Amino acid sequence: MLESLVRGRDLLLLACAASLGCSRAANKRETVLTFSGSALGAEGTLVAKQLKRFMQLNPDIRVELQRTPDDASQRHQLYVQWLNARVGNPSILQLDVVWTPEFAAAGWVLPLDRFGPAKAEFFAATIAANTWAGKVYALPWFADVGLLYRRTDLVPREPRTLEEVVDDAQSAMSRRGGPRYGIVSQGARYEGLITGFVEYLGAFGGQIIDDRGEVVVNRPEAVRALEFMRDELYRTRVAPLDVLTWHEEEARFAFQNGNAVFMRNWPYPVAAMSDTAQSKVAGKFAVSPMPASGTAPAGHSTAALGGAQLAINAYTEFPDAAYKLIAYLTAPEQMLERAQAVGQYPTRPALYDDARLKSAIAIPLDNARRAIESATPRPVTPIYTELSEILQIELHRALVRQAAPRAALDAAAAKINALIERTGMRKLMAAASKA
Amino acid sequence: MRKTSRLGSEARLGWSLVAPALSVIALIAIFPLGWTFWESLHLHELRMPWLGKPFIGLANYAEIVKDPRFWGALGHTAFFTVVSISLELLIGLFLALAMNRVFRGRGFVRAAVLVPWAIPTVVAALLWRFIFESQGGIANALLVRAGILDQPMVWFIETATAWVPVILADVWKTTPFVALLLLAGLQNIDLTLYEAAAVDGANAWWQLRHITLPLLKPAILVTLIFRTLDGFRVFDLIYVLTGGGPGTSTEPVALYTFNALLQNLRFGYGSALSVVIFAITFGLALFYVRGLGVRLGGEES
């Protein structure tokens, strides 16, 4: 029995030596990176193309593509399982913007400072979102921002305040043959609700957690922001109650079919909505940053920040090669190519002066840049996901009128404070700031 | 003396014969349960390795007791279970009585009734969501046309109306199963009882109350035990239809546990929740079997 096993292994070795592929794997000197990330459709083609070019430039490094689910929460769950088992692959992780602090605090991704990333070349908010305890743990690959879409045939001038948005929506709706809905957005109980809330919150000068780490989501500014959102549903009635069950796509359908004056959404629908074959609003809409409230002195135009980051698996054998690849993929040329191929926004402000970007993203470059400059990261904390769940529930309760805005936000603040206590965040942050 | 030792060797033989089966049960049921219980005594957050994995005794259970979301979820689960099972028993009994009569095409009707039961729950739930989802949906259109509603409504943003599609979907899907179980019970009733009752001048109502229902009791209890345990573990239907919303007002315990365990990766706390669900369903099963005398086996009492 044992003998036959040994002989079997010898045979295998022989077969290995004979075939090139196996001898490569057996050769430990070769640097093999695994890259995981969105690899569907046009994005997949683009990634394959860029990885191939990278390998031509670096013949000593081989990069393999490792498929991961495209759904963010499924990918997150897989990453966490692998990293708990200290698996070194994939060597490069694609992180959602709100995951970086979690992975950093867990020690699952490497700090990048020793590689000397050119932090100043990226939008400040995109670096802030990837910074934990003073160190950068991931580089922004592409940015997503919340934008205000408006029908230019109904509202020719860009509204300067949130109050103007509501007025414009009401007058366009009351016009004969005007759209059924004023403002559509994603208001179901999920992460999308938080991104919308963050924008209203900033517009009224509020925050969820302040710079000193205090929970301030029940301060008066925040209560006013939530009241404004609720008034849009029940008082000014510019938003249909349906939005409380909607995700981004339902909002897009409504706007694309000509049923809404305004829409809050990400940049992705621009392409489909500019296509006359499927869109009733092609050539009749414009995109601008979400405005601030005209009644709140501390309010400022705010966009929620989304997008993907690239980070190095802390258990990889080849951190230097991995950084090389990240630097390559986040270099201006590759970002520009990405914008041209799939319309995703570069995270480098300098590219917004580049004429080649203009044809790649269908909206005026200045509007896009202004939106990203007004972008605010959601709370940069390792416990973001649970914090978000608490807020999702309490905000939704307020918006469906199960609770008053003030009471809902008080409850959220109490629960977030309890979460911070339970997870030992204060101690962790104190230790991190000392290090 | 000799007798006991023979019994002892017989017992030993018996044990050795059931040993393989017992070891399989130990492997697939008792071991995971024990592991889950052991896990539930720890603080174990997969996302927060800095907390370590300390043994914390019953602290997770103490947190459950103080967790209003858990008690809410327990209430929603009980509400769902009681309402949907009552409706299913009532309608199922009616269907079973109808199917028990001799008529042409009875075989076809019995098969046709089972169709909803054959549809996977997730698919059925998607179907019902589609019916109720938008203001232009089928449910709204029908109710407005019938004059019951003045204007279309959004079903999923109010607790009371969000339950409607949930309960309807469950009743639609599970009543056939209930009807079939009851039908099997009905077929065991000796027809001569009805003939004798008819000779004595008993009407249909009297026959139902004094012959059918008492003799159907074992079948009804078996149905109850199955459905109660199912109802208590309801997950996929609500996950798809309401996601537990609005707020958390339709969230059942299984969904809350899934959330703690697989969304938030709180292995310790989630395991404690799983153990609590197990204890409750086990207690319910015990109550049915011991308290109400449901006979799951074929033995005579």
Q: From chain A, pick out residues whose CB is under 8 angstroms from the CB of B135.
A: 240, 242
This complex has an ipTM of 0.86
Does the beta-carbon distance from A102 to B47 stay under 8 Å? yes
> Average per-residue pLDDT in chain A?
90
Per-residue model confidence as pLDDT tens digits over B102-147: 778 888 888 888 899 999 999 999 999 999 987 778 999 999 999 9
The answer to whether the CB of A324 falls within 8 A of the CB of A51 is no
Burial A370-406 (b: 16+ CB within 10 A, else e): bbbbbbbbbbbbbbbbbbbbbbbbbbbbbbbebbebe
State the pLDDT at residue A29.
64
DSSP state letter for A158: P
Alpha-carbon span B18 to A331, nearest angstrom: 67
Query: pLDDT band at residue A28, thresholds of 50, 70 and 90?
Result: low
Cross-chain residue pair A386–B264, CB shorter than 8 Å: yes
Strands A92-96 and A303-312, sheet pairing: antiparallel
Render pLDDT for A228-239 as a digit per residue (tens, 0 to 9).
Answer: 999 999 999 999
Angstrom distance (rounded) from CA B121 to CA B137:
21
Which positions in chain B touch A403 (Cβ < 8 Å)? 247
Q: Is A313 left (phi over 0), alpha (psi -120 to 50) or beta?
A: beta
Intra-chain end-to-end CA distance of chain A, in Å: 56
Inspect the interface and report whether the beta carbons of A245 and B259 lie closer than 8 Å. Answer: no
What's the CA gap between A348 and A328, in Å, rounded?
14
Q: Is B207 on the interface with A (CB under 8 A)?
A: no
Per-residue pLDDT, B248: 95
Please give the pLDDT value at position B4.
54
Span A93-101, average pLDDT: 95
Model pLDDT, residue B296: 60
Question: How close B105 comes to chain A (CA, Å)?
Answer: 44
- What is the CATH number that goes with domain B68-291? 1.10.3720.10
A21 Cβ partners below 8 Å, 6+ apart?
none
- Asked if residue B260 lies in contact with residue B268, where contact means CB atoms within 8 angstroms, the answer is no
B residues 130-149 closer than 8 Å to A (CB): 133-135
Give the closest-approach CA distance of B116 to chain A in angstroms.
27
Asked whether A355 and A375 are in contact (CB, 8 A), the reply is no
Distance separating alpha carbons of residues A172 and A346, to the nearest angstrom: 34
Least CB-CB distance to A245: which of B154, B244, B264? B154
Least confident range from A319-323, A338-342, B272-276: namely: A338-342
**Residue A102 with chain B: CB contacts under 8 Å:** 47
∠ CA B116-B121-B123, rounded to 5°: 85
Residue A367's DSSP bridge partners are: none
Q: Tell me whether residue B204 is exposed, middle or buried, using C-beta atoms within 10 angstroms of its C-beta: 0 to 12, 13 to 18, 19 or more.
A: exposed
Number of H helices, E strands in chain A: 18, 12
How far apart CA A206 and CA B34 sit, in angstroms, is 48
Which residues, other chains included, contact A88 with Cβ-Cβ below 8 Å and sequence gap of 6+? A313, A315, A316, A317
Q: The dihedral of CA A26, A30, A31, A35: what is its sign? A: negative
State pLDDT tens for residues A245-293.
999 999 999 999 999 999 999 998 988 898 899 999 999 999 999 999 9
For residue B194 the two structure tokens come to 């009805």
Q: Is B152 at the interface with chain A, CB within 8 A? A: no
Domain ranges of chain B: 1-30, 68-291
Instruction: Decide if A397 and B259 are in contact by the 8 Å CB cutoff.
Output: no
Asked if the bond preceding B120 is cis, omega within 30° of 0, the reply is no
Beta-bridged to residue A61, according to DSSP, are A31
Question: At B67, which amino acid appears?
Answer: D
- To test the contact with chain B by mutation, choose from A82, A247, A386 the residue with the greatest count of B C-beta atoms within 10 A, namely A386
* A218 pLDDT more than 50: yes
DSSP string, A187-252: -SSSHHHHHHHHHHHHHTT--SB-TTS-B-TTSHHHHHHHHHHHHHHHTS--S-GGGGG--HHHHH
Q: What are the structure tokens assigned to B8, written together? A: 């002892």
Please check the confidence at residue A23 and state whether its pLDDT lies above 50.
no
Q: What is the mean pLDDT of residues A148-174?
A: 96
Quote the pLDDT of residue B280: 92
Angle between helices A191-203 and A384-399 (to 10 degrees): 80
Distance CA A379, CA A398 (A): 21
Ranges A102-106, A275-279, B50-54, B289-293: which has the least confidence: B289-293
Cβ contacts of residue A408 below 8 Å, gap of 6+?
Answer: A226, A394, A395, A397, A398
Q: What letters, b where the CB count within 10 A reaches 16 and e where it falls short, cover B239-278?
A: bbbbbbbbbbbbbbbbbbbbbbbeebbbbbbbbbbbbbbe
Cα(B235)–Cα(B253) distance, rounded to whole angstroms? 8
Which residues share a beta bridge with A177?
none
Q: Which fold has domain A145-304?
A: D-Maltodextrin-Binding Protein; domain 2 (3.40.190)
Query: Is A107 near chain B, with CB under 8 Å?
Result: yes
Q: Which one, of A350, A311, A309, lies nearest residue A332 by Cα?
A: A350
Say if CB A166 and CB A133 are below 8 A apart.
Answer: no
Residue A296 has φ and ψ, to the nearest 5°, of -110, 115
The string of pLDDT tens digits covering residues B67-99 is 999 999 999 999 999 999 999 999 999 999 988
